Amino acid sequence: MDVLQRIEQALEAAVTKGMGDDSPPMLQRAVRHAVLTPASRVRPRLCLAVAMACGDDEPAVSDAAAVSLELLHCASLVHDDLPCFDDADTRRGQPTVHRAFGERLAVLAGDGLIVLAFENLAWHTLRHPERLAPLLMIVGRAVGLKDGIVAGQAWECEEQVDLSEYHRQKTAALFAAATEAGAAAAGRNPAPWRTLGAMLGEAYQVADDLRDVAGDAEALGKPVGQDAAHGRPSAVAELGVDGALGRLVTLVVEAVESIPSCPGDEKLQALVIGEMQRLLPPPMADDFMRQLSAARG
Amino acid sequence: MDVLQRIEQALEAAVTKGMGDDSPPMLQRAVRHAVLTPASRVRPRLCLAVAMACGDDEPAVSDAAAVSLELLHCASLVHDDLPCFDDADTRRGQPTVHRAFGERLAVLAGDGLIVLAFENLAWHTLRHPERLAPLLMIVGRAVGLKDGIVAGQAWECEEQVDLSEYHRQKTAALFAAATEAGAAAAGRNPAPWRTLGAMLGEAYQVADDLRDVAGDAEALGKPVGQDAAHGRPSAVAELGVDGALGRLVTLVVEAVESIPSCPGDEKLQALVIGEMQRLLPPPMADDFMRQLSAARG
């Protein structure tokens, strides 16, 4: 079973266990729509990659960590799409939850997914109770009021916005949690794994910006040139294409070099680089690999 | 320190630890408005009463359980008050969170309070890691997608509404969790404590209905006669005043008789009865006590 299949099965199981047949039928449909629409599952894949590099001694705990991160990510998308925020019509190629099921069910589905993310951790750590608190605190911090997704989103409501803080929190928080949670799920000390996630969170953001100027709309499944068209801040607007590619190389080198010594460290390094290469349009991917080799000596 | 003071201090500490000085300032204000407005704290008081009856061997864990229940209750009020649900202007004698801070911060404050409720359990069970999973599952169930507050609220979005299920979930879920969590926080088996909370949840609802027909608006701090004026379902509309009072007596007898044997069982019985007596308008309270004595032989 490949990793994506493993994640989809664990998500399906969590949603089924979390609701049961007696939940209100429309709520069940809204939650399934929010979670089980095809998606890249970047965060849970990263979490499992780290868990596997650390030995993955209890796959049920690793799955639970990965699933909880994705449930929280889905919850944040459902609430971000609400009319009072982005008022978005589509998400992952489907109507947003509030367009398909109404605003009330979108609020409730998001709330319920947050609760389910935490319940799911408890259900799967009964054989390893000492792993529950670290996992809970890692994912809680990633989405919470202090420096998690909720805080990041709330900076949008301030008149004096610290935009760097805002972007760091919105993009990096769940990535940093993904690597920490992968290690904690496998019984390792999570702290040394935080840098990898934080660097990759920023790297994905830069890669996204590069795809927006150089990508193929059909291959990406979404229109390109959107950042420039909407005057959005992006690494390309700030640094130019070459500068942004250089920044990406630096971030990936830092990410790869931060990987703590563990049974699968070399495999994980190769996975991280291959994933980033795959994200870029082909000519840019070649450039990226050349510069990366040079930078790593 | 009396129990209410203990709860207010623990709520203040949880909110402060959960945000820190770096959270967005408006979010901090919205969360404090949602949580720290004077309120009856019925659920955390019930939780602590049970924890104390069970010995309260780790007050920090009992406080954490009580606080988490109240944070989740506050989160549900903030989201219930949103324009897409009740569109309420006031709550606890203050403007609702979305009226005071806007809809976006109301959504985010509610989300963040749900996250904080779970983080708070983890922070305070580090010395008793075996108590975290039971507590997490008790409070998660009370608010979750299956038969918690989210499910109860989502029944409002169904065309074919099972109203009894809806009311049970919205009123009884957190009460049942309060007694279970109080026992679990003190290291006891929570299961036998569920009946007490479920009965009291319904009893508080009936007492509220009785106050709405027989109470004094000034003493209650809210207008009376609202159920009849809005054609809302209530125990009084269904059973009449005498029938509702009889129902209340039955519920309190069942509640009191369900209390498991424990160091403080007799004190807890007296507390439950005294609390219910205090809720009723004086002449009705006398009737209640007479009927209760007769029913208990």
Choose one of B148, B165, B187: the last residue of a domain.
B187
Mean pLDDT throughout B111-133?
A: 97
DSSP label at residue B262: -
The pLDDT value recorded for residue A179 is 98
Mean pLDDT throughout B152-169?
A: 76
In angstroms, the CA B167 to CA B189 distance is 27
Mean pLDDT throughout A14-27?
A: 94
A35 with A162, same domain: the answer is: yes
Residue of B nearest to A22 (CA): B146
Contact A108 B82 (CB under 8 A): no
Contact A115 B25 (CB under 8 A): no
Q: Provide the mean pLDDT of chain B.
A: 92
Out of A75, A133, A140, the one facing B126 most closely (by C-beta) is A133
Chain B residues with CB under 8 Å of A136 CB are 118-119, 121-122, 132, 136
Out of A24, A114, A146, the one facing B157 most closely (by C-beta) is A24
The pLDDT value recorded for residue A219 is 63
State the residue range of the domain holding B86: 1-187
Which residue reads 């928080």 in tokens? A173
The token duo for A236 is: 């390309």
In angstroms, the CA A210 to CA A254 distance is 19
B18 with B163, same domain: the answer is: yes
Mean pLDDT throughout B70-97?
A: 95
A133 with A262, same domain: the answer is: no
B285 with B147, same domain: the answer is: no
DSSP label at residue A292: H
The residue among A213 and B262 whose pLDDT is bigger is: B262
A151 with A16, same domain: the answer is: yes
Say yes or no to pLDDT of A163 above 70.
Answer: no
Highest mean pLDDT range out of B17-21, B139-143, B219-223?
A: B139-143
CATH of the domain at B180: 1.10.600.10
Where is average pLDDT lowest: A116-120, A216-220, A236-240, B174-178?
A216-220
Contact B146 A108 (CB under 8 A): no
Choose one of B171, B187, B203: the last residue of a domain.
B187
A60 touches chain B (CB under 8 A): no
Mean pLDDT throughout A245-259?
A: 96
Long-range contacts of the stretch B233-240 (C-beta < 8 A, 24+)? B233/B163, B233/B167, B234/B209, B235/B205, B235/B206, B235/B209, B235/B210, B236/B209, B236/B210, B236/B212, B237/B209
B183 with B210, same domain: the answer is: no
Tell me how many domains chain A contains.
Answer: 2
Q: For residue A220, which of A206, A230, A210 has the smallest C-alpha distance?
A: A210
B206 with B176, same domain: the answer is: no
A79 with A195, same domain: the answer is: no
The pLDDT value recorded for residue B194 is 96
B6 with B126, same domain: the answer is: yes
Contact B114 A111 (CB under 8 A): yes
Residues in CB range of A228: below 8 A, 6 or more apart: A212, A213, A234, A237
Alpha-helix runs per DSSP H in chain B: 3-19, 25-36, 42-53, 59-80, 97-101, 103-123, 132-143, 149-154, 163-167, 173-185, 194-214, 217-220, 226-229, 235-258, 265-279, 282-295
B33 with B178, same domain: the answer is: yes
Choose one of A159, A189, A219: the last residue of a domain.
A189
The pLDDT value recorded for residue B192 is 97
The pLDDT value recorded for residue B214 is 80
The pLDDT value recorded for residue A1 is 72
Contact A136 B133 (CB under 8 A): no
Residue of B nearest to A19 (CA): B146
In angstroms, the CA B251 to CA B204 distance is 10
The pLDDT value recorded for residue B158 is 87
Chain B residues with CB under 8 Å of A105 CB are 154, 157
**pLDDT tens column, B254-275:** 999 999 999 999 999 999 999 9
B136 with B256, same domain: the answer is: no
Q: What ipTM describes this predicted complex?
A: 0.94
Three-state DSSP state, B198 = helix
Say yes or no to pLDDT of A222 above 70.
Answer: no
Mean pLDDT throughout B219-236?
A: 71
Out of A85, A111, A158, the one facing B24 most closely (by C-beta) is A158
C-beta of residue A210 within 8 angstroms of C-beta of residue A235: yes
Mean pLDDT throughout B14-27?
A: 93
Out of A85, A126, A145, the one facing B23 most closely (by C-beta) is A145
Say yes or no to pLDDT of A11 above 70.
Answer: yes
Say if residue A78 is exposed, middle or buried (CB neighbours under 10 Å; 0-12, 13-18, 19+). Answer: buried
Contact B151 A27 (CB under 8 A): yes
A109 with A252, same domain: the answer is: no
B227 touches chain A (CB under 8 A): no
B146 touches chain A (CB under 8 A): yes
The pLDDT value recorded for residue B162 is 61
